[in-house]
Structure 1
């Protein structure tokens, strides 16, 4: 009788754990066309930060904007890295603390909060989202001229699986 009860209890705990994990909301970076469907979902579970990388449209040099998840699922721009100073690159003292690391400029302490990021996809800018060593080339998901929206929402693991399967 005790073995039977222990098995039921264990099975009940496993089922409850599975349901909890499956239905637990996870902060997820959702990428889609503005006013359109989500085409890329990246759970921000193991790491709460990601990088948006692109080629500067005027200088044609790489830029990396480093974001971290902030309270309320907002995005906090922590720093920007770039290789040349010029039109459109931040450098004023009020924009943060600019450091020069042998030609790599790092602007720290920007502390700008965004509820969402709105981007326009342009072919030659090679726009990428970097998360834990994986590169998500936006041109693989969108056509040139697309208006793209990035935002973080809490979604369940079940919803994440649905979005992933729906994309295929």
Structure 2
């Protein structure tokens, strides 16, 4: 009986060792999309601490792209806005930023406007979407039309797989040191 417990303890120890060699706990920035009416909380990982909120402008009917960065205090910092036309509700001066025309698009950069959260009434017409790198997250795939959502940033501890571990990496020739 004692030998079985020792074998079990060794197996558990080896399993834990292999687990922690392949995985690690990592503090990661996330966006939390919280529905006011549906009691939904959706979390999206933001590995580069940067995302874009895109939508169709209600008056101009053209796409708008707002680029945000997440700071260490989890504030959402509006860094730049890109849009296709000038008109009601769209910036047209260099107020607190640099306004320019790039390849037929208007771009306002250097904004640094801070928000603790963003409230959006989600609708099919503006097609609100969060873009992270190549991945798009339409808000209507998360909540129902006409729902009020609050978007905020937070820190979360996540278990992530180590990409750099290989058994070959343990050999003498590949120990990570340059010779």
Alignment TM-score, normalising by the size of structure 2: 0.73
Residue 155 of structure 1: how far off its partner (Å): 1.7
Q: Provide the secondary structure at the position in 2 that maps to 1:123.
A: coil
- Which residue pairs with 1:96 in the alignment? 97
Counterparts of 1:17 and 1:74, CA distance in 2: 34
Q: Structure 2 residue aligned with 1:31, among 27, 33, 37?
A: 33
Counterparts of 2:143 and 2:17, CA distance in 1: 43
Counterparts of 1:17 and 1:43, CA distance in 2: 23
RMSD (Å) for aligned C-alpha atoms: 2.4
- Which residue pairs with 2:81 in the alignment? 80
Counterparts of 1:100 and 1:75, CA distance in 2: 25
Report the more deviating stretch, 120-129 or 94-103: 94-103
Q: Provide the secondary structure at the position in 2 that maps to 1:53.
A: strand
Counterparts of 2:23 and 2:58, CA distance in 1: 47
Counterparts of 1:120 and 1:95, CA distance in 2: 27
Residue 71 of structure 1: how far off its partner (Å): 2.1
Counterparts of 1:115 and 1:131, CA distance in 2: 19
Residue 19 of structure 1: how far off its partner (Å): 7.7
Residue 10 of structure 1: how far off its partner (Å): 7.4
Q: Provide the secondary structure at the position in 2 that maps to 1:139.
A: helix
In structure 2, runs of 5+ residues without a counterpart are: 1-10, 160-179
Counterparts of 2:63 and 2:144, CA distance in 1: 21
Q: Provide the secondary structure at the position in 2 that maps to 1:124.
A: coil
- Which residue pairs with 1:60 in the alignment? 61
Structure 1 or 2: larger helix share? 1
Larger radius of gyration: 2
- Which residue pairs with 2:133 in the alignment? 132
> What are the superposed Cα offsets for residues 120-141 of structure 1, whole Å, 9 maximum, x if unpaired?
1122101110011011111112
Counterparts of 1:140 and 1:51, CA distance in 2: 17
Counterparts of 2:30 and 2:78, CA distance in 1: 17
Counterparts of 1:134 and 1:107, CA distance in 2: 23
In structure 1, runs of 5+ residues without a counterpart are: 1-6, 159-168
- Which residue pairs with 1:112 in the alignment? 113
Q: Provide the secondary structure at the position in 1 that maps to 2:125.
A: helix
